[in-house]
Amino acid sequence: MFERLDQIEARYDELTQALAAPEITNDSAKYQKTAKAHSEMVPIVEKYREYKDLKRGIADSRGMLSEETDAAMRAYAQEELNQLEGRLGGVEQDLKMLLLPKDPNDEKDVILEIRAGTGGDESTLFAAEMFRMYARYAETKGWKVELLSSSESSIGGMKEVIAIIEGKGVYSQLKYESGVHRVQRVPATEQQGRVHTSAVTVAILPEAEDVDIKIEAKDLRIDTFCSSGPGGQSVNTTYSAVRITHIPSGTVVSCQDEKSQIKNREKGMRVLRARLYEVEMQKQQDALAKERKAMVGSGDRSEKIRTYNFPQNRLTDHRIGLTLHQLDLIMDGRIDAIVDALTQHYQAEKMQKEGAAA
């Protein structure tokens, strides 16, 4: 591990010097590529240098203990040694985490898809609340949320909502949100005060770029139609809505959020690329395909990954046994505790597998 860390640090120093070289600074493409590679190494190098500082401090404290005869100074050296040794294990663990193979999609933007599942109208209301939760979370992170399409229910909920979330490391933060989310509460329409259970499905798809997935024009059928729903007369009377069919796979994407047919087509193509990219990843990684199928399922309540219990103000993530009694804050977008717990759990699991393989 430390030989690899020495190599990374040496490469980091090379890139630091390169960022000041005229042949790099005068070429914007080279500069961006170099700066990106440099920034990716920063967390590892900083942590490794912290580790080396701790090791030097421990060696110095031990040297003082072996040479010092003054009782007060020996006590000081021992206290210092205990503190440094206490920190060393945690820093070494952090280094192991940082050296784990990274998910190539972690820095990508995502396509967020939320669909009402079992539970009728109540599930559409919860789907709308879930979308608000993710939008508020994105706001706290400084991410941009762009609505692609939505289908409203008769009582103001959402049968389906699709949006793009853009920002730094979006997929790395949201990738464990895919699955069935179950809600337990008393619906506003319930006269008897009984708790009802319904569910929505959430899918987080890494947005594919042109280099990730190639789509041939001959493989597409593009239909236009009049938009429906709110938006005014111009939306309803012009053929601005777009339906794109990818003929080889049978994948269909519709977008009618914009008044411009061109903009709707651009947004639709972004969703199509993401869906086809996901299919391609599934072909390449059978394990990932099985995992996602298990995570998302059909929207049935029994396939839940998480339960939102409103009467008890409780959220439970069933995959890692996490329970939080602050559902009101979570629904307002404060989901950092969940995101962090899931990330730590799956990183530790990954580290365990890496260790077993080694």
The tens digit of pLDDT for each residue in 200-211 reads 999 998 887 655
Residue of higher predicted confidence among 162 and 354: 162
Which DSSP state fits 101?
P
**Coil, strand, or helix at residue 46?**
helix
What is the rounded average pLDDT of the residues 27-50?
87
How confident is the model at residue 331, as a pLDDT?
95
pLDDT at 296 over 80: no
Percentage of the chain lying above the pLDDT 70 cut: 85
User: Residue 199 — pLDDT band, cuts 50, 70, 90?
Assistant: very high
Residue of higher predicted confidence among 259 and 23: 23
What gap in Å lies between CA 199 and CA 306, rounded to an integer? 10
How confident is the model at residue 284, as a pLDDT?
59
CB 296 within 8 A of CB 180: yes
User: Residue 329 — pLDDT band, cuts 50, 70, 90?
Assistant: very high
What is the rounded average pLDDT of the residues 15-43?
87
What is the dihedral angle through the alpha carbons of 226, 229, 232, 233, rounded to the nearest 10 degrees? Answer: 40
How confident is the model at residue 350, as a pLDDT?
78
pLDDT at 179 over 50: yes
CB 198 within 8 A of CB 118: yes
Question: Nearest CA to 296 among 179, 162, 171?
Answer: 179
Question: Nearest CA to 268 among 240, 248, 230, 292?
Answer: 240
pLDDT at 295 over 50: no
Residue type, 183: V
Structure tokens at 301: 């309540």
What is the rounded average pLDDT of the residues 245-258?
79
Tell me the residue ranges of DSSP E strands in the chain: 110-116, 144-152, 158-166, 179-185, 196-206, 220-225, 241-246, 251-255, 304-309, 314-317, 322-324
What gap in Å lies between CA 172 and CA 107, rounded to an integer? 7
Residue type, 300: D
What gap in Å lies between CA 229 and CA 342, rounded to an integer? 38
**Total residue length of the chain:** 358
Instruction: Pick from 25-34, 63-72, 305-314 the range whose average pLDDT is largest.
Output: 305-314
Question: Per DSSP, what are the bridge partners of residue 115?
Answer: 160, 201
DSSP string covering 66-92: HH---HHHHHHHHHHHHHHHHHHHHHH
What is the rounded average pLDDT of the residues 248-272?
79
pLDDT at 187 over 90: no
CB 292 within 8 A of CB 277: no
Q: Measured between alpha carbons, how far is residue 311 from residues 186, 199, 307, 328, 352 in Å?
A: 8, 16, 12, 11, 38
For residue 173, the surrounding DSSP H or E stretch is helix 170-174
pLDDT at 302 over 90: no
pLDDT at 289 over 50: no
What is the rounded average pLDDT of the residues 108-114?
90
Q: What pTM did the predictor assign?
A: 0.65
Averaged confidence pLDDT in the chain: 83
How confident is the model at residue 344, as a pLDDT?
85
How confident is the model at residue 301, as a pLDDT?
43
What gap in Å lies between CA 229 and CA 235, rounded to an integer? 9
What gap in Å lies between CA 74 and CA 7, rounded to an integer? 37
What is the rounded average pLDDT of the residues 238-265?
78
Percentage of the chain lying above the pLDDT 90 cut: 29
User: Residue 341 — pLDDT band, cuts 50, 70, 90?
Assistant: very high
How confident is the model at residue 247, as a pLDDT?
81
How confident is the model at residue 342, as a pLDDT?
92
What is the rounded average pLDDT of the residues 29-38?
86
What gap in Å lies between CA 314 and CA 194, rounded to an integer? 17
CB 154 within 8 A of CB 189: no
What is the rounded average pLDDT of the residues 134-154?
91
User: Residue 246 — pLDDT band, cuts 50, 70, 90?
Assistant: confident
pLDDT at 291 over 50: no
